[in-house]
Structure 1
């Protein structure tokens, strides 16, 4: 950096690809580096904040979403999150939002249905309003950044001739959805990698507003990506 400063005074803090690789090896999963002691700081991975119960956000039955991958012996998926914002969650790069947990269960093993605990003060934006889903199967196309240039050049005029908006009418449908394709409307395309190195696929999108009335990020979408090789690997989270 001293050499770079001498040659380019206005670019003293540029980071090259080599610098980034070295920094990644030094940090090795740390969330920060103590600039005095040079100790790596790792935040303890927590599912929720102490004293704050996890909230049920979504429940799906296999009969309603048969195309999703269901572990053997399960037919219910329950998605919970901690309503507090988290950063430094393991494997979640540049993420700031609720910690998410997915639990597959068998409906046959559920006996009494208990009233879930509710945090005292979460401002309303992270407590979903009770509502019933009416799943609809739709075709969802990839975002423009995930299509070959020649295919996108043909798709956009085709959609325009049919009075459709390709980018949100045919591709990357908005709303709550299982599967489909993620929109990269706030950033460039950011391939999401599993801890095993495989490219993770979009599993679930939880959108702000609508009947549940929740708000994530700046009224955006919280997306859950899962490993296509081994579903037991921890999911990856992203907000757009």
Structure 2
């Protein structure tokens, strides 16, 4: 289903004007788009979480080559399709390599144990996330959160509905996966952190 075909969800107005309380934050303001995935039957040409991807029949499916404890057998494992987002449905989605307008996110269903291991695990605050290819600062591209809002605050609940975890996706210990991209070259490898 395309974004225009489904009911939209509205984030309520913020209860505080954070920039008036903390003027120094104004310089760090960025556009953000909150996505509210809900159970549906998407097609390969739709933006969605889970579901079928628009994938060339002749291209091999992405795999994870890191050894995994608890995996069903030795050898590479197929990655799971986490999300497919079209620029037409996500305002401010940066263009990909060669101007691509489709972002597909895959993840490994097992904990990785090996030389690449887990991404940076930051619970106490922001840490630097620099590009491995050019050493420049990376931008947050996408956050996959277990829940749409914290239990301590109702101000982020969409006005139209209320489930906290409509997709059933659980990240780490009920946290979030942050995916970062290089703003200088979208072909540079992405990095991630789990919070």
TM-score by length of 1: 0.39
Structure (1/2) with the larger helix percentage: 1
* Bigger radius of gyration: 1
Using CA pairs under 8 Å that are at least 6 residues apart, name the structure with larger relative contact order, 1 or 2.
Answer: 2
Q: How high is the TM-score relative to the length of structure 2?
A: 0.47
